[in-house]
Structure 1
Amino acid sequence: MDKPVPKPDRKSIAAWDRAKRDGRVRALITAYDYPFARLASEAGIDGILIGDSLGMTVQGHEDTLRVSLEQMIYHTEIVARAAPECLIMADLPFGSFESSPSKAFDSATLLLKAGADIVKLEGGAAMVETVGFLSARAVPVCAHIGLTPQHVRQFGGFRKQGKTADAAARLRTDAVDLAEAGARMVLMEAIPADLAAEITRAVPVPTVGIGAGGGTDAQILVLHDVLGLTSGYVPGFARTYLDGSRLVREAIETYATDVRARRFPQ
């Protein structure tokens, strides 16, 4: 009798390390609720990020700054329950980690207990000490550099980063320093593709790109952008795979029409 083919390991960080060494690209997506997380897992997605992007996609805010740690814990619990075979990554929201490494540890602990396998925090050089502190205390960290949405007001908008030689050099240094401090992954958002590829070669940990070209070890997109459900700001690097807004709107319109015409219920 043939031995059953083992399912690919999507969840463990060690498997992501092996994928990087083998040159196998992995795919992540954001999700914030049970139905979408379950569908993403069934579709074979490798990892799910519970992003503070929910402030924009779910709550309707203009940025991510109003998302609370309590909200992140709530959504992480839901997604982790829906997709137990995927790597579960959860954002540390604005104000939950910046003031001290110990505060970051307290916040990260709550997300891990909610079901996260790894936490993501935004920032470069200023976060190296915090990443080291968390790593030494068994908290897996994904460092997020480049366009960091929690700094949107400081940046003056959602703008591409690393375009000058000095800015690119800082990002390269930040990525290497964060990895040396113990970051298990580095996410790069909205930076030049050649720079992202260079950083991917320079660091020993998996890199994740969003708007950073195809030279990273993994890619991530916001689910609502993929499904065409986003209203308002949509990054230029996003790709829409479904006209979801139109399909959902038409379904609701048809339902309402059937009710008014007494075609439903029959």
Structure 2
Amino acid sequence: MERKKITLEDIKKMKQKKQKITMLTAYDFPTASLIDQAGIDMILVGDSVANVVLGLKSTTEVGMTEMIHHTKAVKRAVKYAFLVGDMPYESYQTNPEESVKNAKRFIDEGCDAVKLEWFDKCPQVTETIIKAGIPVMGHIGLTPQTADQLGGFKVQGKDADAAKRLISQAGLLEKLGCFSIVLECVPDLVAKQITEKLKIPTVGIGAGIYCDGQVLVTHDLLGLFERFKPKFVKQYINLSPKILEAFKKYKEEVLNGEFPGPEHSFTIKKEELDKI
């Protein structure tokens, strides 16, 4: 069966059909190409690029310049997946007009939608962007851009009042027109309640099995980020030691004169060499 580009309607219908949604992050052409080939439904050009690619301590340290740079690279590779651009810190918290301008930039570069983390003025900004015709994915629970205000990188919604706030936020985002919501670091049974209440799909990261879909940071899944490993990450392969071994082998072969071999070299005819 011929693959087709996944659309906004496809994502919505997946919940109706109780078909799980898969999502991964990508920041470069080759990785995005492999994710797309694997049949992953959605790709997020995440602001996590700050941590896992650029070596920064916080996602708040990247802006529109970096995010658009990586979005362009990913878009060149993606043929089928639904592409979401992660709006960076201060690109949508300033004023609604600037938010629309920045969101539109992601769409202009080939994204199908943008993602916004919850903050105090999130409803107004979300509504403004959606009214401008730009699909928005919400993000509640642990919101890394404002984690300090939440007491650090901790599970959110662990008591009744906090859980009720999350349920309320999710309902409001759906009412405003979000097509989907990311639930990050939320107790599984709280995520279950939210998922059951909403008509739009939930995509969990550290939010248990009951969400309509799952997302992971690709570098965590592949074992390429060694600074820390969140509890919710399943490492499907540990590539770091394998890559390190390859680098060491390369160095060894260069030093020993094993590389490059004849099969990696080009030749010139003897009569041409004699003319030099």
TM-score, length-scaled by structure 2: 0.92
Partner residue in 2 for 1:84: 79
Tell me, yes or no, if structure 1 residue 26 matches structure 2 residue 38: no
Distance apart, 1:157 and its partner CA: 2.1
Distance apart, 1:156 and its partner CA: 3.4
The one-letter code of the counterpart of 1:211 is: G
Equivalent-residue separation in structure 2 for 1:146 and 1:201 (angstroms): 17
Aligned 8 A contact 1:11 1:88 in 2: no
Equivalent-residue separation in structure 1 for 2:134 and 2:29 (angstroms): 25
Partner residue in 1 for 2:268: none
Aligned 8 A contact 2:206 2:232 in 1: yes
Unaligned segments of structure 1, at least 5 residues: none
Tell me, yes or no, if structure 1 residue 215 matches structure 2 residue 214: no
Partner residue in 2 for 1:258: 253
Partner residue in 1 for 2:58: 63
Distance apart, 1:153 and its partner CA: 2.0
Tell me, yes or no, if structure 1 residue 180 matches structure 2 residue 193: no
Distance apart, 1:155 and its partner CA: 2.5
SS at match of 2:60: coil
Aligned 8 A contact 1:210 1:219 in 2: yes
Distance apart, 1:124 and its partner CA: 5.1
Aligned 8 A contact 2:45 2:74 in 1: yes
Partner residue in 1 for 2:90: 95
Unaligned segments of structure 2, at least 5 residues: 262-276
Equivalent-residue separation in structure 2 for 1:254 and 1:96 (angstroms): 44
Aligned 8 A contact 1:125 1:178 in 2: no
Partner residue in 1 for 2:39: 44
Equivalent-residue separation in structure 2 for 1:162 and 1:200 (angstroms): 14
Aligned 8 A contact 1:121 1:141 in 2: yes
List structure 1 segments (4+ residues) > 2 angstroms apart after TM superposition: none
Q: How does 1:238-257 map to 2 (within 5 A)?
A: 238-257=233-252
TM-score, length-scaled by structure 1: 0.95
Tell me, yes or no, if structure 1 residue 191 matches structure 2 residue 186: yes
Equivalenced residue count is: 261
SS at match of 2:140: strand
Equivalent-residue separation in structure 2 for 1:140 and 1:200 (angstroms): 19
Q: Give the direction of change, closer, same or farther, for the CA distance of 1:187–1:163 in structure 2 (3 Å limit).
A: same
Partner residue in 1 for 2:134: 139
Deviations 1:119-154 (A, max 9, x none): 001015631111111111111000100000001222
Aligned 8 A contact 1:34 1:78 in 2: yes
Partner residue in 1 for 2:232: 237
SS at match of 1:194: helix
